[in-house]
A and B are shown apart, each in its own frame.
Chain A
Amino acid sequence: MKPAPFEYFAPETAEEVLALMAEHGVDARPLAGGQSLVPLINMRMAQPAVLIDLNQCSELAYLREENGVLACGPMNRQRELELSPIVRQYCPLIAQAMPHMGHATIRNRGTAGGSLSHADPSAELPGVALAMDAELIAEGPNGRRSIPVAEFFFAELTTALEADEILREIRLPKAGAGSVAAFAEVGSHFGGLAIVGVAAQVDRDASGRCIRVALAATGAGERPTRLTSAEAMLSGEVLEERTIIETAEAATADVDPLEDLHASAHWRRRAAVAMAAQALRQIAAGVHN
C-alpha cells in the first residue's frame, strides 16, 4: 500500500465540494482524473490529509457552445475533448494537441480542469489554453471570479487558485473560420513525458499574410510562455521557410528555461526554437479548416 492515509469524500454537487474545501482548507486536495495527483500520492510526494473526489459531480462535466466560446466543465475528460466534433470545429488547436497528452488510457481518466490546475510546466493543455487566450473561472466561498489564462499560471505546480477554490469552468474562444493550428512536441517517446512543446494558431488573410498569431511554449520555463517576440515578427508576413526560421529563432528571447535531469536549459531553449519552426511548418503545409 503506497499512499499515506487520507480522509475521503465524494460529494455529488459543486456546492458540497466548495463547502468541504472551505471546511478543510489547505489540508484538502480536490481529486479530478488523478493521472497527475495520484502518482504524487503513491510516491508520497503529496500527502493530503483529505481528498475531495470530484468524479461524482456530474454537473462539473459538460461541454457546450455559447456565444463565441466553448464552455468546458473542469471534469470533462481529455478523451471526450479529443473525440468531440465541436472541439474539432471550433478549437482546432486542442484537437491537434490532444494526441500528445499522455496515452489514450490516461486521457480516458484525465480531465481538462485537472491538467490546468496541476500546472505541470511541461503539460500540453496549459500551453494550449495560453495560446488560445482562454478565460478560467474559479469558484470559492465568495463566489466566482474570472482569471485570464495569462494570469493563471504562477510557477511549477502553482496557479492563481486559492486553497478553497476550484477551477469551475474553462472558456475557450472559438477560432476564426480561417484559423489553422498545430502542436509540436519533443519528448522521451510518443505520449510519454513531454520535454518541450509549442502550440501555434495562425489566422491569415486572403493573400496568406498572418493577421493573428498565437504561439506558446511548454517546458521552456517554470510556466507556459507566450512567444511574443516571435508572434510580433510573424505579424503581416507570409509563412515561408525563411520567415519561419527567423520567427522561431526569435523565440529564444521569449523563453527562460530551467535545467533538470531531462534536459539542460540550453537544450530546452533550442528545442523551443525547433518546435516553433515545426509547428509553423505544419501550419504552412496545412489547409484552412
Chain B
Amino acid sequence: MSAARREVRVTVNGRTYSRTVEPRVLLADFLRHECGLTGTHVGCAHGVCGACTVVLDGVSARSCLTFAVQADGKEITTVEGLAEGDSLNVLQQAFHENHALQCGYCTPGFLMSLTEFLRETPDPDETQIRERLSGNLCRCTGYANIVRAVQAAAQRLREEGAP
C-alpha cells in the first residue's frame, strides 16, 4: 500500500522548507533527511530518550512522536537555531564550560528541553532541574555536570535579564 504523498511546509530556525513526503515520515527524519538539519538526533524512536526534542510552535515536543505532516504550517526551532551567529548561546556555553557532555549524542535534546524549561522557570532549584532532566537520557555524564550547567546558565540569564 502506498499512501498519497503530501506537501509539508515548515519554518525551521526562520527558514522555510517545502517538501513532499509520505504521511508516515516522522518529523525527526524530515528534519534530518529532507532539511539536512542533522543536529536533531534519533535515539530510541519511541519517546523515551528525548534526543529528538525540538521546539514546535513554542513548546518542546518529541520529533520522533510527531509526523512531519502534522507540522505543516508550523514553526520549529532545532538545536541549529540556538547559537547566535558563531557564538554559543548562554545555555550552550554553560554546557561547554561545565563539561555537561561527553559523546554529545543526547545534547541537542537536552538543550531544546532546557531552553523551554529556563524560559518557564528562570530561578529553578535542583529538584526542579532534576525533574526536568528526567525526560532526557544521557549515558555518559551521570547528569551531575548537566545540573551544574543548568544552574550556571540560569544564573547568567538572570544576571543578563534575558527573556
In whole Å, how far is B108's beta carbon from the nearest beta carbon of chain A?
A: 13
Chain A residues bordering chain B, tally (CB within 8 A): 32
B103 at the interface (CB under 8 A from A): no
Decide if B131 touches A99 in the complex (CB within 8 Å). yes
- B131's closest neighbor in chain A, by CB? A190
Decide if A5 touches B60 in the complex (CB within 8 Å). no
Decide if B24 touches A53 in the complex (CB within 8 Å). no
Specify which of B48, B61, B62, B69 is in contact with A10 (CB 8 Å cutoff): B69
Specify which of B69, B70, B134 is in contact with A190 (CB 8 Å cutoff): B134
A1-B29, A8-B3, A105-B50 given; A51·B23 CB < 8 A: yes
Contact with B along A1-43 (1 / 0, CB 8 A): 1111111101000000000000000000000001100110011
A242 at the interface (CB under 8 A from B): no
Complex CA gap A32/B26 in Å reads 16
Decide if A5 touches B1 in the complex (CB within 8 Å). yes
In whole Å, how far is B105's beta carbon from the nearest beta carbon of chain A?
A: 18
A34-B66, A39-B47, A42-B45 given; A108·B22 CB < 8 A: no
A2-B26, A4-B24, A43-B46 given; A103·B69 CB < 8 A: no
Contact with A along B24-56 (1 / 0, CB 8 A): 111001000000000000000111101001000
Specify which of B46, B70, B113 is in contact with A55 (CB 8 Å cutoff): B70
Contact with B along A126-160 (1 / 0, CB 8 A): 00000000000000000000000000000000000
Complex CA gap A192/B135 in Å reads 8
A176 at the interface (CB under 8 A from B): no
In whole Å, how far is B50's beta carbon from the nearest beta carbon of chain A?
A: 7
Task: Report B-chain residues with C-beta under 8 Å of the C-beta of A1.
Answer: 22, 24-26, 29
Complex CA gap A1/B162 in Å reads 39
Chain B residues bordering chain A, tally (CB within 8 A): 35
Task: Report B-chain residues with C-beta under 8 Å of the C-beta of A35.
Answer: 47, 62, 65
Specify which of B4, B62, B69, B117 is in contact with A106 (CB 8 Å cutoff): B62
- A38's closest neighbor in chain B, by CB? B65
Task: Report A-chain residues with C-beta under 8 Å of the C-beta of B45.
Answer: 2, 42
Task: Report B-chain residues with C-beta under 8 Å of the C-beta of A39.
Answer: 46-47, 65
- A49's closest neighbor in chain B, by CB? B1
From 83 to 114 in chain A, residues with beta carbon under 8 angstroms from any chain B beta carbon are 99, 102-106, 108-109
Decide if A7 touches B131 in the complex (CB within 8 Å). no
In whole Å, how far is A38's beta carbon from the nearest beta carbon of chain B?
A: 4
B6 at the interface (CB under 8 A from A): yes
Decide if A38 touches B47 in the complex (CB within 8 Å). yes
B64 at the interface (CB under 8 A from A): yes
For the complex of A and B, the 7 pairs showing the least CB-CB separation, nearest first, are: A103-B135, A8-B23, A39-B46, A3-B24, A38-B65, A108-B59, A105-B60
Of the A-B pairs whose beta carbons lie under 8 Å apart in the complex, a sample of 13, sorted by A's number, is A1-B22, A1-B29, A3-B26, A4-B24, A6-B23, A38-B47, A55-B70, A103-B134, A104-B60, A104-B135, A105-B113, A105-B116, A109-B65
- 18 extra A-B contacts, CB within 8 A, seeds A8-B6, A53-B70, A103-B134: A1-B22, A4-B24, A5-B22, A5-B23, A7-B3, A8-B23, A10-B69, A10-B70, A39-B65, A42-B46, A43-B46, A49-B1, A103-B50, A103-B135, A104-B60, A104-B117, A190-B130, A191-B135
Residues of B within 8 A of A (CB): 1-4, 6, 22-26, 29, 45-48, 50, 53, 59-62, 64-67, 69-70, 113, 116-117, 130-132, 134-135
